[in-house]
């Protein structure tokens, strides 16, 4: 299987047009393409920085000419879970007509959409990408090719992977950024290429605060790793 990570801008997509006009982001949690009716049904999480932006975004989505149905499943503060049905876009039709299929959830923000698309053969991929160029703006950000054994391994260990992801997602923005900067600047190299004092200067906080942020982020990531290892060990018996 060939798996592509595509940064996409469609010109007939309600979600992309809405994020162009309003500071709102959408993440799909479920989708179903009705090929006979040429419509896509989705469940999405809509997230903004303010309640006003959320209302503006949902209103713009409902009023889009390619939106068939848009309804709220739940809403709290600046986040909503919504259900939608839209007309099949040119890109969706192109992928499907050339042997492609969706392999993962898509995210839409700032007028662009991140797609995960799969193909079984190189010629299908080449044909689909050539056709996409006629009516869409896109770039392939990543391309992976998996054999049957690799795919089986991924599926077999999907719960372990989720455990690891949960550990990473539990990091706060501050912990994530501190961990990232420390790693990129060589804090975990031997010998170290940066110090706590230098990291403290970078973030304009105390050395103690940097150390605490690193310890919290390390513990959360380590808990995720250990949880994934334990789940893999359990699956082997």
Predicted local confidence at residue 236, as pLDDT: 56
Are 139 and 162 found together in one domain? no
**13 in a structural domain:** yes
Which among 58, 55, 78 has a CA at the least distance from the CA of 70?
A: 58
Predicted local confidence at residue 49, as pLDDT: 92
Are 107 and 37 found together in one domain? yes
Predicted local confidence at residue 158, as pLDDT: 58
38 pLDDT more than 80: no
**151 in a structural domain:** no
**213 in a structural domain:** yes
**150 in a structural domain:** no
Whole-angstrom distance, CA of residue 164 vs CA of residue 37:
39
* Cis peptide, bond prior to residue 194, ω within 30 of zero: no
Are 106 and 53 found together in one domain? yes
159 pLDDT more than 80: no
Are 137 and 220 found together in one domain? no
Predicted local confidence at residue 70, as pLDDT: 93
* Cβ(210)–Cβ(154) below 8 Å: no
How many domains are there within the chain?
A: 2
50 pLDDT more than 80: yes
Are 225 and 125 found together in one domain? no
Are 210 and 168 found together in one domain? yes
**Residue 173 belongs to what domain range?**
157-235
Are 67 and 182 found together in one domain? no
Whole-angstrom distance, CA of residue 118 vs CA of residue 5:
9
Q: What is the mean pLDDT of residues 201-210?
A: 94
* Cβ(73)–Cβ(58) below 8 Å: no
Are 167 and 133 found together in one domain? no
Whole-angstrom distance, CA of residue 90 vs CA of residue 92:
6
What's phi and psi for 219, nearest 5 deg? -65, -40
Are 128 and 164 found together in one domain? no
Q: Domain of 206: which CATH number?
A: 1.10.10
Q: Which of 145, 175, 192 is the last residue of a domain?
A: 145
151 pLDDT more than 70: no
**152 in a structural domain:** no
Q: Choose the weakest-confidence range: 168-172, 178-182, 195-199.
A: 168-172
DSSP-based three-state secondary structure for 111? coil
């Amino acid at each position: 299987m060939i798996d592509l990570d595509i940064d996409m801008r469609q010109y007939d997509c309600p979600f992309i047009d809405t994020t162009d006009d309003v500071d709102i982001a959408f993440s799909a949690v479920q989708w179903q393409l009705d090929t006979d009716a040429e419509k896509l049904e989705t469940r999405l999480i809509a997230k903004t920085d303010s309640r006003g932006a959320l209302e503006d975004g949902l209103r713009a989505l409902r009023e889009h000419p390619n939106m068939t149905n848009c309804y709220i499943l739940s809403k709290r503060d600046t986040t909503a879970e919504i259900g939608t049905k839209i007309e099949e876009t040119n890109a969706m039709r192109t992928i499907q007509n050339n042997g492609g299929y969706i392999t993962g959830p898509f995210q839409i923000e700032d007028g662009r959409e991140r797609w995960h698309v799969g193909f079984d053969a190189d010629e299908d991929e080449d044909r689909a990408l050539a056709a996409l160029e006629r009516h869409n703006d896109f770039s392939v950000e990543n391309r992976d090719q998996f054999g049957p054994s690799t795919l089986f391994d991924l599926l077999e260990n999907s719960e372990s992977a989720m455990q690891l992801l949960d550990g990473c997602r539990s990091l706060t923005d501050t912990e994530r950024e501190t961990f990232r900067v420390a790693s990129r600047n060589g804090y975990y190299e031997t010998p170290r290429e940066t110090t706590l004092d230098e990291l403290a200067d970078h973030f304009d906080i105390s050395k103690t605060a940097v150390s605490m942020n690193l310890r919290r982020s390390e513990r959360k990531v380590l808990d995720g790793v250990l949880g994934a290892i334990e789940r893999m060990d359990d699956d082997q018996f």
